[in-house]
Copies of this chain bind each other. A is one copy, B any other.
Amino acid sequence: MKDADLVVLAVPVGAMEAVTREIAPHLAPGATITDVGSVKRDVIAAVAPHLPKGVHFVPGHPLAGTEHSGPRSGFAELFDNRYVLLTPDPGTAPEAVARLRALWEGCGANVEEMDADHHDLVLAVTSHTPHLIAYTMVGVADDLRRVTDSEVIKYSAAGFRDFTRIAASDPTMWRDVFLSNKDATLEILGRFTEELFALQRAIRTGDGDHLFDYFTRTRAIRRGIIEAGQDTDAPDFGRMPAKARADEGAEK
Protein backbone atom coordinates (compact mmCIF):
# COMPACT_ATOMS: atom_id res chain seq x y z
CA MET A 1 0.00 0.00 0.00
CA LYS A 2 2.80 2.42 0.92
CA ASP A 3 4.25 2.29 -2.60
CA ALA A 4 0.94 2.33 -4.49
CA ASP A 5 0.45 5.17 -6.99
CA LEU A 6 -3.18 4.16 -7.44
CA VAL A 7 -5.65 2.51 -5.08
CA VAL A 8 -9.03 1.30 -6.40
CA LEU A 9 -11.79 0.74 -3.86
CA ALA A 10 -13.82 -2.12 -5.33
CA VAL A 11 -16.09 -3.02 -2.43
CA PRO A 12 -19.84 -2.57 -1.84
CA VAL A 13 -20.78 1.07 -1.28
CA GLY A 14 -21.63 0.38 2.36
CA ALA A 15 -18.11 -0.89 3.03
CA MET A 16 -16.27 2.11 1.54
CA GLU A 17 -15.93 4.05 4.80
CA ALA A 18 -14.56 1.17 6.87
CA VAL A 19 -12.04 0.22 4.19
CA THR A 20 -10.94 3.83 3.74
CA ARG A 21 -10.41 4.31 7.48
CA GLU A 22 -8.22 1.23 7.54
CA ILE A 23 -6.03 2.06 4.55
CA ALA A 24 -5.84 5.86 4.89
CA PRO A 25 -2.81 5.95 7.24
CA HIS A 26 -0.84 3.86 4.76
CA LEU A 27 -1.48 5.91 1.62
CA ALA A 28 1.57 7.58 0.08
CA PRO A 29 1.53 11.34 -0.54
CA GLY A 30 0.70 11.98 -4.21
CA ALA A 31 -1.16 8.68 -4.59
CA THR A 32 -4.53 8.63 -6.37
CA ILE A 33 -7.48 6.84 -4.83
CA THR A 34 -10.58 5.98 -6.80
CA ASP A 35 -13.59 3.70 -6.43
CA VAL A 36 -16.01 1.81 -8.67
CA GLY A 37 -19.19 2.33 -6.63
CA SER A 38 -22.60 2.74 -8.32
CA VAL A 39 -23.42 5.77 -6.15
CA LYS A 40 -21.16 8.79 -5.91
CA ARG A 41 -22.41 11.41 -3.41
CA ASP A 42 -22.53 8.95 -0.49
CA VAL A 43 -19.18 7.40 -1.42
CA ILE A 44 -17.57 10.84 -1.47
CA ALA A 45 -19.02 11.54 1.98
CA ALA A 46 -17.74 8.17 3.22
CA VAL A 47 -14.23 8.38 1.76
CA ALA A 48 -13.06 12.00 1.39
CA PRO A 49 -12.99 13.03 5.08
CA HIS A 50 -10.62 10.19 5.98
CA LEU A 51 -7.95 10.77 3.34
CA PRO A 52 -4.62 12.35 4.32
CA LYS A 53 -3.50 15.60 2.66
CA GLY A 54 -1.71 15.14 -0.63
CA VAL A 55 -3.76 12.10 -1.69
CA HIS A 56 -5.91 12.69 -4.79
CA PHE A 57 -9.45 11.30 -4.68
CA VAL A 58 -11.16 10.80 -8.06
CA PRO A 59 -14.50 8.99 -7.60
CA GLY A 60 -15.46 6.76 -10.52
CA HIS A 61 -18.17 4.47 -11.79
CA PRO A 62 -17.63 2.07 -14.70
CA LEU A 63 -20.98 1.31 -16.36
CA ALA A 64 -20.10 -2.27 -17.16
CA GLY A 65 -20.63 -5.70 -15.74
CA THR A 66 -23.06 -8.55 -15.77
CA GLU A 67 -25.30 -9.95 -13.05
CA HIS A 68 -22.28 -11.95 -11.88
CA SER A 69 -19.92 -10.57 -9.27
CA GLY A 70 -16.48 -11.29 -7.93
CA PRO A 71 -13.07 -11.47 -9.62
CA ARG A 72 -13.95 -14.60 -11.62
CA SER A 73 -16.73 -12.71 -13.40
CA GLY A 74 -14.33 -10.34 -15.12
CA PHE A 75 -13.23 -10.81 -18.72
CA ALA A 76 -10.85 -8.93 -20.99
CA GLU A 77 -13.51 -7.15 -23.07
CA LEU A 78 -15.63 -6.05 -20.09
CA PHE A 79 -14.97 -2.32 -20.54
CA ASP A 80 -14.79 -2.18 -24.35
CA ASN A 81 -16.85 0.80 -25.52
CA ARG A 82 -18.48 1.17 -22.09
CA TYR A 83 -18.75 4.46 -20.25
CA VAL A 84 -16.80 5.25 -17.11
CA LEU A 85 -18.12 8.27 -15.21
CA LEU A 86 -15.71 10.25 -13.04
CA THR A 87 -17.07 12.73 -10.50
CA PRO A 88 -14.05 14.60 -9.11
CA ASP A 89 -14.47 17.69 -6.97
CA PRO A 90 -13.61 20.82 -9.02
CA GLY A 91 -10.56 21.34 -6.79
CA THR A 92 -8.98 17.98 -7.67
CA ALA A 93 -5.52 18.01 -9.26
CA PRO A 94 -6.08 17.76 -13.05
CA GLU A 95 -3.09 15.46 -13.50
CA ALA A 96 -4.64 12.88 -11.13
CA VAL A 97 -7.88 12.95 -13.12
CA ALA A 98 -5.93 12.68 -16.38
CA ARG A 99 -3.98 9.64 -15.17
CA LEU A 100 -7.15 7.83 -14.12
CA ARG A 101 -8.82 8.72 -17.38
CA ALA A 102 -5.84 7.24 -19.27
CA LEU A 103 -6.11 4.04 -17.25
CA TRP A 104 -9.78 3.54 -18.10
CA GLU A 105 -9.24 4.50 -21.73
CA GLY A 106 -6.50 1.89 -21.82
CA CYS A 107 -9.15 -0.66 -20.84
CA GLY A 108 -11.22 0.39 -23.86
CA ALA A 109 -13.71 2.60 -22.01
CA ASN A 110 -15.13 6.04 -22.86
CA VAL A 111 -14.55 8.37 -19.93
CA GLU A 112 -16.80 11.30 -19.03
CA GLU A 113 -16.88 13.65 -16.07
CA MET A 114 -19.97 14.94 -14.29
CA ASP A 115 -21.20 16.26 -10.98
CA ALA A 116 -21.76 13.58 -8.31
CA ASP A 117 -25.41 14.54 -7.66
CA HIS A 118 -26.22 14.50 -11.33
CA HIS A 119 -24.56 11.09 -11.63
CA ASP A 120 -26.77 9.75 -8.85
CA LEU A 121 -29.95 11.01 -10.53
CA VAL A 122 -29.00 9.67 -13.97
CA LEU A 123 -28.17 6.28 -12.52
CA ALA A 124 -31.39 6.22 -10.47
CA VAL A 125 -33.20 6.43 -13.81
CA THR A 126 -31.07 4.18 -15.97
CA SER A 127 -30.04 1.53 -13.44
CA HIS A 128 -31.16 1.72 -9.81
CA THR A 129 -34.93 2.01 -10.24
CA PRO A 130 -35.02 -0.55 -13.10
CA HIS A 131 -33.18 -2.98 -10.82
CA LEU A 132 -35.64 -2.46 -7.97
CA ILE A 133 -38.55 -3.01 -10.33
CA ALA A 134 -37.04 -6.19 -11.73
CA TYR A 135 -36.41 -7.52 -8.24
CA THR A 136 -40.02 -6.74 -7.33
CA MET A 137 -41.50 -8.45 -10.37
CA VAL A 138 -39.47 -11.59 -9.83
CA GLY A 139 -40.53 -11.60 -6.19
CA VAL A 140 -44.20 -11.37 -7.21
CA ALA A 141 -43.84 -14.35 -9.52
CA ASP A 142 -42.18 -16.34 -6.78
CA ASP A 143 -45.09 -15.63 -4.41
CA LEU A 144 -47.92 -16.53 -6.73
CA ARG A 145 -49.44 -19.77 -5.61
CA ARG A 146 -51.69 -20.39 -8.57
CA VAL A 147 -48.72 -20.32 -10.90
CA THR A 148 -46.12 -22.90 -10.07
CA ASP A 149 -42.40 -22.19 -9.90
CA SER A 150 -41.77 -24.57 -12.73
CA GLU A 151 -44.28 -22.73 -14.93
CA VAL A 152 -42.67 -19.39 -14.19
CA ILE A 153 -39.34 -20.87 -15.15
CA LYS A 154 -40.45 -22.86 -18.18
CA TYR A 155 -42.66 -20.24 -19.73
CA SER A 156 -40.58 -17.19 -18.91
CA ALA A 157 -40.97 -15.19 -22.09
CA ALA A 158 -38.65 -12.40 -23.17
CA GLY A 159 -39.95 -9.86 -20.66
CA PHE A 160 -39.63 -11.86 -17.52
CA ARG A 161 -36.43 -13.65 -18.50
CA ASP A 162 -34.61 -10.31 -18.73
CA PHE A 163 -36.00 -9.33 -15.33
CA THR A 164 -34.71 -12.48 -13.69
CA ARG A 165 -31.25 -11.80 -15.04
CA ILE A 166 -31.27 -8.30 -13.56
CA ALA A 167 -32.73 -9.64 -10.30
CA ALA A 168 -29.89 -12.15 -9.99
CA SER A 169 -27.40 -9.37 -9.22
CA ASP A 170 -25.45 -9.29 -5.98
CA PRO A 171 -27.79 -8.62 -2.98
CA THR A 172 -25.18 -6.86 -0.84
CA MET A 173 -24.16 -4.49 -3.62
CA TRP A 174 -27.76 -3.58 -4.41
CA ARG A 175 -28.90 -3.20 -0.83
CA ASP A 176 -26.10 -0.64 -0.39
CA VAL A 177 -26.98 1.12 -3.64
CA PHE A 178 -30.58 1.72 -2.58
CA LEU A 179 -29.67 2.77 0.95
CA SER A 180 -27.05 5.23 -0.30
CA ASN A 181 -28.92 6.63 -3.31
CA LYS A 182 -32.15 6.89 -1.36
CA ASP A 183 -33.39 10.34 -2.40
CA ALA A 184 -32.95 9.96 -6.15
CA THR A 185 -34.33 6.41 -6.15
CA LEU A 186 -37.42 7.43 -4.16
CA GLU A 187 -38.01 10.37 -6.50
CA ILE A 188 -37.85 8.20 -9.62
CA LEU A 189 -39.96 5.50 -7.96
CA GLY A 190 -42.61 8.11 -7.25
CA ARG A 191 -42.73 9.12 -10.90
CA PHE A 192 -42.77 5.48 -11.95
CA THR A 193 -45.76 4.75 -9.73
CA GLU A 194 -47.66 7.75 -11.12
CA GLU A 195 -47.15 6.59 -14.69
CA LEU A 196 -47.93 2.98 -13.85
CA PHE A 197 -51.23 3.99 -12.23
CA ALA A 198 -52.16 5.96 -15.35
CA LEU A 199 -51.53 2.90 -17.53
CA GLN A 200 -53.34 0.64 -15.07
CA ARG A 201 -56.33 2.96 -15.24
CA ALA A 202 -56.20 2.86 -19.06
CA ILE A 203 -56.31 -0.94 -18.94
CA ARG A 204 -59.19 -0.93 -16.47
CA THR A 205 -61.23 1.58 -18.46
CA GLY A 206 -60.31 0.07 -21.83
CA ASP A 207 -58.56 3.22 -23.06
CA GLY A 208 -56.67 1.65 -25.97
CA ASP A 209 -55.54 4.99 -27.42
CA HIS A 210 -53.67 5.91 -24.24
CA LEU A 211 -51.87 2.55 -24.26
CA PHE A 212 -51.06 2.72 -27.96
CA ASP A 213 -49.68 6.26 -27.76
CA TYR A 214 -47.57 5.45 -24.72
CA PHE A 215 -46.10 2.32 -26.29
CA THR A 216 -45.35 4.17 -29.51
CA ARG A 217 -43.43 6.86 -27.66
CA THR A 218 -41.22 4.41 -25.74
CA ARG A 219 -40.04 2.80 -28.96
CA ALA A 220 -38.04 5.86 -29.94
CA ILE A 221 -35.67 5.64 -26.96
CA ARG A 222 -34.74 2.11 -27.98
CA ARG A 223 -33.81 3.25 -31.46
CA GLY A 224 -31.54 5.85 -29.88
CA ILE A 225 -29.72 3.22 -27.83
CA ILE A 226 -29.13 1.01 -30.84
CA GLU A 227 -27.82 3.98 -32.79
CA ALA A 228 -25.54 4.97 -29.90
CA GLY A 229 -23.96 1.51 -30.09
CA GLN A 230 -24.69 0.66 -26.44
CA ASP A 231 -26.53 -2.54 -27.24
CA THR A 232 -24.03 -4.80 -28.92
CA ASP A 233 -24.96 -7.50 -26.42
CA ALA A 234 -28.71 -7.47 -27.08
CA PRO A 235 -30.23 -10.90 -26.50
CA ASP A 236 -31.66 -11.26 -29.99
CA PHE A 237 -28.31 -10.52 -31.58
CA GLY A 238 -27.08 -13.85 -30.34
CA ARG A 239 -29.92 -15.71 -31.97
CA MET A 240 -30.59 -13.69 -35.08
CA PRO A 241 -28.67 -14.71 -38.17
CA ALA A 242 -26.30 -12.18 -39.71
CA LYS A 243 -28.82 -11.22 -42.40
CA ALA A 244 -31.45 -10.17 -39.85
CA ARG A 245 -28.86 -8.28 -37.85
CA ALA A 246 -27.87 -6.33 -40.93
CA ASP A 247 -31.54 -5.58 -41.59
CA GLU A 248 -31.94 -4.26 -38.09
CA GLY A 249 -29.12 -1.83 -38.59
CA ALA A 250 -30.86 -0.56 -41.71
CA GLU A 251 -34.28 -0.31 -40.08
CA LYS A 252 -35.76 3.16 -39.68
Contacts and interface: CB of A to CB of B under 8 A. Distances in A.
A125 B191 CA distance: 23
A136 B179 contact: no
B225 A157 contact: no
Nearest to A198: B136
Interface stretch (A20-28, A50-58, A147-155): A147-155
A96 to B, nearest CB: 23
B230 A161 contact: yes
Contacts of A123: 155, 157
Interface string A202-239: 01101010011011111111111100101111111111
A66 B236 contact: yes
Contact of A221 (B85, B133, B141, B220): B141
Interface size class of A (residues with CB under 8 A): 35 or more
A32 interface: no
Nearest to A239: B233
A63 B138 contact: no
A193 to B, nearest CB: 7
A136 B130 CA distance: 10
Contacts of A168: 218-219, 222-223
Interface of A: 14, 63, 65-68, 72-73, 75-78, 83, 85, 118, 121-123, 125-144, 146-147, 149, 151-169, 171-172, 174-176, 178-179, 182, 185-186, 188-189, 191-193, 195-196, 199-200, 203-204, 206, 208, 211-212, 214-225, 228, 230-241, 243-244, 247-248
14 contacts: A66-B235, A68-B236, A125-B160, A126-B141, A129-B140, A132-B199, A132-B203, A152-B221, A165-B236, A168-B219, A168-B223, A171-B212, A233-B235, A235-B235
